[in-house]
Copies of this chain bind each other. A is one copy, B any other.
Amino acid sequence: MDLAFAEAEAAALRGEVPIGAVIVDRSGTVIAAAGNRTLELKDPTAHAEMLAIREACAKFGSERLTSCDIHVTLEPCPMCATAISFARLRRVYFAASDEKGGGIEHGPRIFAQPTCHHRPDVYGGIGERRAAEMLRNFFAVRRN
């Protein structure tokens, strides 16, 4: 999760909403790491999780990441939660939960849908305070 936080900090320095994601394999080796790049890439799908999933799939040459876990600094949105399910990721660890935009514990609760075909194990609240503070600081500066 530390590397995910570093990616989130790097995203903030680029002027992006500070969210970072890291994908590790069964042994804990980092396969992919990314921060949010929606503004830089002018791409509304360029969330940290999506970029990390695409990078990991490209490395493995497979659209499935069955033996991998993803660590994210914020509860994934419904787009990313669905992509996590499609990629067959084994576990999702996230820091802050997201009442307004989250798609796992909030909103459409993607993995709880009967039409969801792969439900990873979910562990929330890993470093929650740090992630929430980072987002709060980012938006506080923006609003001034």
Contacts and interface: CB of A to CB of B under 8 A. Distances in A.
Given A78-B82, A108-B110, 5 more contacts: A39-B63, A43-B57, A44-B57, A45-B86, A107-B113
Given A100-B115, A108-B109, A115-B100, A83 B42 contact: no
Interface string A86-117: 11000000000001111100111110011110
Nearest to A116: B107
| Shortest Cβ-Cβ A-B pairs, 7 listed | A108-B108, A79-B82, A107-B115, A44-B86, A44-B63, A78-B82, A44-B87
24 contacts: A38-B63, A39-B63, A41-B63, A42-B57, A42-B60, A42-B63, A43-B54, A43-B58, A43-B63, A44-B64, A44-B86, A45-B50, A45-B86, A78-B113, A79-B80, A79-B82, A79-B86, A82-B82, A82-B103, A100-B115, A102-B115, A106-B115, A107-B115, A108-B108
Contacts of A99: 115
Q: How many copies does the complex hold?
A: 2
A134 interface: no
A109 B103 CA distance: 12
Interface in A53-80: 53-54, 57-58, 60-64, 77-80
